[in-house]
């Protein structure tokens, strides 16, 4: 029974509920408990082959440290956190196999089909890893395997940079005392998409996004590079230097290379969907 039972700590939350359904479809008996129900957690951990930690970022490491001494070498511990280095290090203090997970989607997705899950295996046999990840692959998820450090380095751009830029758009408009509604009569499809991303971000939990930006040590140098880029672009614009602007634009087009054409084709589909909605 232990091999087909999973304990989800924090399983009463939205992401925990999503993964509960995934494991139930895979034939597992799913047992859940809130992160504050310590006696219940101890009970279900002892009976489970897999222990999944699904709690807010700032709570993840403390919860893992509390659970680690309870785990045996025939169990798997994993987490669903947006950061990986500290949680993986905490999980390695246990005797269990350690596989960090980061679902690159929110709990409102209809299915895992086409969605990306990043795995950061730190201690697991290939057989254990393959059979575990197959649960998500059978649901249609794409798996990217990497190290915890490389994950956090990439997330500094994929999440840190993009979320900060989106928040900067919102903060700039607030400072200009402009609302999305008053700009919409002048909208282009690209602007409408941008406003959609801003609104989507601001409708989320600020604690989550604050932790993503503040607890990843790789975010600060990325934002420093972003600040330098903005200063440089402004200098070019302020100087009315057309040649320098064209050089800047061309250098970045060459850096993105073939991705530009692919991005244009994909965003054409998105724009068509927005316009015809």
* pLDDT tens digit sequence for 189-240: 999 999 999 999 999 999 999 999 999 999 999 999 999 999 999 999 999 9
Q: Is the pLDDT of residue 88 over 90?
A: yes
pTM to 2 decimal places: 0.93
CATH superfamily for 2-146 is NAD(P)-binding Rossmann-like Domain (3.40.50.720)
Domain ranges of the chain: 2-146, 150-240
Interstrand relation of 97-103 and 116-123 (parallel, antiparallel or unpaired): antiparallel
Decide if 223 contacts 70 (C-beta within 8 A). no
Decide if 63 contacts 55 (C-beta within 8 A). yes
Contacts of 46 (CB under 8 A, 6+ apart): 70
More confident call, 276 vs 211: 211
Interstrand relation of 76-79 and 142-145 (parallel, antiparallel or unpaired): unpaired
**Structure confidence at residue 244 (pLDDT):** 98
Q: Is the pLDDT of residue 13 over 90?
A: no
Nearest to 277 by CA among 204, 202, 203, 196: 196
Per-residue model confidence as pLDDT tens digits over 46-85: 999 999 999 999 999 999 999 999 999 999 999 999 999 9
Nearest to 10 by CA among 63, 88, 49, 47: 63
Per-residue model confidence as pLDDT tens digits over 234-265: 999 999 999 999 999 999 999 999 999 999 99
**Structure confidence at residue 39 (pLDDT):** 78
């Amino acid at each position: 029974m232990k091999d087909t039972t999973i304990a989800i700590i924090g399983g009463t939350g939205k992401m925990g509920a999503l993964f509960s359904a995934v494991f139930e479809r895979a034939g597992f008996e799913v047992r859940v408990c809130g992160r504050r129900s310590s006696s219940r957690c101890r009970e279900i951990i002892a009976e489970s082959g897999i222990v999944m930690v699904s709690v807010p970022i700032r709570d993840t490491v403390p919860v893992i440290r509390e659970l680690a001494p309870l785990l045996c070498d025939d169990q798997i511990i994993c987490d669903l956190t947006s950061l990986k280095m500290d949680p993986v290090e905490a999980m390695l203090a246990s005797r269990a196999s350690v596989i960090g997970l980061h679902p690159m989607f929110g709990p409102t997705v209809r299915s895992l089909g086409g969605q990306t899950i990043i795995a950061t295996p730190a201690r697991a046999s290939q057989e254990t890893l393959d059979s575990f990840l197959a649960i998500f692959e059978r649901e249609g998820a794409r798996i990217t395997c990497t190290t915890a450090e490389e994950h956090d380095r990439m997330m500094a751009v994929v999440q840190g940079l993009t979320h900060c830029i989106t928040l900067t758009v919102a903060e700039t408009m607030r400072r200009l005392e402009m609302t999305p509604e008053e700009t919409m009569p002048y909208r282009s499809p690209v602007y409408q998409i941008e406003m959609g991303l801003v609104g989507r971000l601001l409708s989320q939990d600020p604690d989550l996004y604050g932790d993503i930006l503040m607890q990843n040590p790789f975010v600060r140098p990325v934002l420093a590079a972003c600040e330098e880029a903005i200063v440089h672009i402004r200098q070019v614009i302020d100087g009315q230097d057309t040649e320098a602007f064209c050089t800047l634009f061309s250098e970045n087009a060459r850096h993105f290379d073939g991705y530009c054409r692919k991005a244009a084709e994909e965003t054409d589909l998105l724009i068509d969907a927005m316009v015809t909605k």
